[in-house]
Amino acid sequence: MLTPQRPLQPVQWAAILGSIAILVWSVPGLIANPDFHIGNSATSVRVLGVDMNGWHAVSGFLVAVPGFYAALRRDWSAPFDLAAGFALLSTAAWAVVSTHPAGGLFYFPNGGADALLHVGTSTIFLAGAAQYFLSGTRPDGRHDRANSSAARGSNSTPTKPSSPGTHASSPGSIK
């Protein structure tokens, strides 16, 4: 169960890379400002251009850690990538409209920078999910023949059946 499906597919890489991107801000954010005050007492320190406090940093871990776990399997990565991507987009909008979102847990005097971070990281997750759902990739990593161009008849060359008593030859066969 904890053995990853290999080779890693783009949907799994999206879960991994999106989680790493989030941790690039969360780890230094928690170190720079481990403040867990709320409301008007909440503080923020700009870390790599984004307002961070303890709550914001921990919320990043709440996305990244499950992301690494979901990356073990393609069929877990796809719904995770979708959920993480849309959650990040919704919190990006929230950061733009409020300097104290989530009941005052966060203090974002520079909410536009946080919104850009959330939109950027959501793009990683959503790109992985889109590739998975739009490519017809099955959970086992093989291409779904029902959605492939060969199954629909495009880009295929008609073959001529061999006559009775003759053998169809293939390249490299001995005649």
169: in domain: no
Q: Write down the pTM of the prediction.
A: 0.74
In a domain, 28, yes or no: yes
Evaluate if residue 164 carries a pLDDT over 60: no
Assigned domain for 131 exists: yes
Whether residue 31 lies inside any domain: the answer is yes
Give the pLDDT mean for 49-74: 95
In a domain, 168, yes or no: no
How far is 81 from 126, CA to CA, in rounded Å?
6
Nearest of 50, 63, 47 to residue 122 by alpha carbon: 63
**How many domains is the chain built from?**
1
Asked if 108 and 114 count as a contact pair (C-beta separation under 8 A), the reply is: yes
The answer as to whether 66 is a domain residue is: yes
- 45 has which bridge partners? 52
Domain of residue 90, residue span: 10-136
**Within-domain flag for 144:** no
Q: Is residue 63 included in any domain, yes or no? A: yes
| Token representation of residue 78 | 């796809």
